[in-house]
DNA sequence: CGTTTACTTGAATGCTCTCAACCAGCGTGG
DNA sequence: CCACGCTGGTTGAGAGCATTCAAGTAAACG
């Protein structure tokens, strides 16, 4: 067979295309657009757990975890492809190398979770927001979605607030603070980091947790050709 | 060979036995005691990322992530065993089933991270602390370290504060609050959950993310006998 | 004993949230 | 074409939450 992926699909903006409690039979790769893993509390509050960009597996973990402990929502229109779990199982039986890369990809997700935990628990609100911008900048640049220090971030402040565990108002003021420090500019969907070094210091950002070796791209590459 | 584990060691209380930046050549299993993954900021603040109990792999992810993005500190005296990464590699080459179980174990770590993210971002301080108590209660009961609704938690409030992303004083008041609601009692190291249902509701706790199938124990079991 | 560590409490400060209002841009229907 | 309603961004104000500083208590230890 030519590819591990079994199909492709468009997801409209704002659709929660994977739901908490689901038992997916396939794992989903984000081909384009932005998505977020999301968890809701019984009081209606929402917390995002990761923001996904082009090239990310959004629920590779469901292959072994079976039941989704969170949903995945399309923050923009998204294009996705998917790999049946059966195929993943076959990969783990026959291709140890690729298996380790898939495993690694989920480990990087966990490393991102850990940085977020530090942001939520111990960073100031400016540093918290700044850290996310650093993370997104690096991840987007790896997949060729940046232009110098600029990138498109088609996400509302309400969504960003859910990604940072704060209220919209407070998030807005944090952005204002970063602007006033001359660290960033933000017009519509266009974000520009005006002072990378300054932002990195403010946010205590160290990119090494992201493993810039283009893991996900390599992954998609390996699963595409007739190697499987 | 008889076992994937290549040795055993005692770690004294309070020792950070794995450090951020390390490149471990082996992964560590906690045989007894409590440990915490820990990250420090340049301003000196500390954030714990998980609390580990008997039976947990504390740095299985270092097998593929190579470089530790956080340290691991012994909260009590600990007994550990370790598996060389070489051995893990061999396992991934020859034992797909065991490989998936190891992978799963790291996925459960990530699921715990996600619950903590929700706690930090969107739960009240009482619910945040309550949620950790629920989590620890379940995890300890799985490894036979509970007695009814009681368990030993030999961890200071300062450490608990680092695990919840709050100040000691505030953590202390949250515990006081839980006590006053009649949900728990806490004398020295003895914690008792007086009203499990009430605590679960307050904390919005759903244990399914922990995968109670005793994953880690099964794992240790499989790696012990002469199957490898 | 005297010292140390951990827990507890009070008080003041500062951070963050909610509520509320206002503005700008955009699409729609009259 | 324009008025209208909608969504998203921005700001002010007050209330409530969480932090820090400081002090006091209690148990553990040499």
**B62-91 residues touching A, CB cutoff 8 A:** 64-65, 67, 69-70
DSSP B12: -
Per DSSP, the three-state class of B11 is: strand
Per DSSP, the three-state class of B98 is: helix
Give the nearest chain A residue to B162 (CA atoms): A121
Per DSSP, the three-state class of B118 is: helix
> What is the pLDDT at residue B225?
53
> What is the pLDDT at residue B213?
67
Could you tell me which residues come within 8 angstroms of residue A38 by beta carbon, excluding any fewer than 6 positions away? Answer: A16, A46, A47, A48, A49, A70, A71, A72, A73, A162
Q: Residue B68: which pLDDT band, with cuts at 50, 70 and 90?
A: very high
Tens of pLDDT, residues B196-224 = 999 999 999 999 999 876 666 667 777 76
> What is the pLDDT at residue A108?
97
Query: Are B130 and B183 within 8 A, CB to CB?
Result: yes
> What is the pLDDT at residue A225?
53
> What is the pLDDT at residue B29?
97
> What is the pLDDT at residue B215?
62
Query: Nearest CA to CA, how far is B165 from chain A (Å)?
Result: 4
Which string of DSSP letters, residue by residue, matches chain A? ---S---EEEE-TT-EEE-TT---SEEEEEEES-EEEEEE-TTS-EEEEEEE-TT-BSSTTHHHH-S-SSEEEESS-EEEEEEEHHHHHHHHHH-HHHHHHHHHHHHHHHHHHHHHHHHHHHS-HHHHHHHHHHHHHHHHHHTT-EETTEEE----HHHHHHHHTS-HHHHHHHHHHHHHTTSEEEETTEEEES-HHHHHHHHT--GGGG-TTTHHHHHHHHHSSTT-
Tokens of residue A47, six digits: 């917390």
Whole-prediction pTM: 0.94
Tens place of pLDDT per residue across chain A (228 aa): 447 888 899 999 999 999 999 999 999 999 999 999 999 999 999 999 999 999 999 999 999 999 999 999 999 999 999 999 999 999 999 999 999 999 999 999 999 999 999 999 999 999 999 999 999 999 999 999 999 999 999 999 999 999 999 999 999 999 999 999 999 999 999 999 999 999 999 999 999 999 876 666 666 777 765 545
Tens of pLDDT, residues B175-195 = 999 999 999 999 999 999 999
- Of residues A65, A117, A204, nearest to B113 (C-beta): A117
> What is the pLDDT at residue A1?
43
Contact between B107 and A65 using a beta-carbon 8 Å cutoff: yes
CB pairs under 8 A between A and B: 126
* Residue A23 CA: distances (Å) to CA of A64, A65, A88, B2, B4: 10, 9, 15, 37, 33
List the single protein residue with the shortest CA to C1' distance from D27: B188
Tell me the C-alpha distance between A186 and B54, whole Å: 48
Tens of pLDDT, residues B18-60 = 999 999 999 999 999 999 999 999 999 999 999 999 999 999 9
Query: Nearest CA to CA, how far is A160 from chain B (Å)?
Result: 12
Report yes or no: B95 at the A interface, CB cutoff 8 Å: no
> What is the pLDDT at residue B1?
43
φ/ψ of residue B78, rounded to 5: -125, 150
Best CA proximity match to B66, nearest among A109, A211, A141, A203: A211
Which string of DSSP letters, residue by residue, matches B163-197? HHTS-HHHHHHHHHHHHHTTSEEEETTEEEES-HH
Residue B104 has pLDDT above 80, yes or no: yes
Tokens of residue B62, six digits: 């270092």
């Amino acid at each position: 067979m030519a590819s591990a992926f079994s199909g492709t699909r468009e997801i409209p903006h704002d659709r929660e295309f994977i739901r908490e409690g689901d038992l997916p039979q396939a794992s989903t790769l984000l081909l384009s657009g932005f998505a977020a893993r999301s968890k809701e509390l019984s009081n209606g509050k929402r917390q995002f757990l990761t923001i996904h960009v082009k090239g990310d597996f959004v629920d590779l973990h469901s292959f072994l975890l079976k039941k989704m402990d969170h949903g995945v929502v399309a923050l923009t229109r998204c294009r996705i492809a998917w790999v049946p779990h059966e195929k993943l199982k076959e990969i783990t039986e026959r291709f140890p190398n690729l298996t380790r890369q898939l495993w690694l990809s989920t480990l990087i997700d966990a490393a991102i979770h850990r940085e977020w935990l530090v942001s939520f628990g111990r960073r100031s609100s400016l540093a918290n927001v700044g850290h996310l911008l650093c993370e997104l900048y690096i991840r987007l640049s790896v997949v060729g979605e940046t232009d110098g220090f600029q990138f498109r971030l088609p996400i509302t402040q309400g969504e960003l607030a859910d990604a940072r565990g704060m209220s919209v108002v407070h998030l807005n003021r944090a952005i204002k603070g970063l602007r006033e420090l001359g660290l960033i500019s933000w017009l519509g969907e266009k974000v520009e980091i005006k002072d990378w070094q300054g932002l990195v210091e403010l946010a205590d950002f160290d990119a090494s947790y992201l493993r810039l070796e283009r893991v996900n791209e390599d992954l998609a590459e390996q699963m595409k050709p007739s190697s499987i």
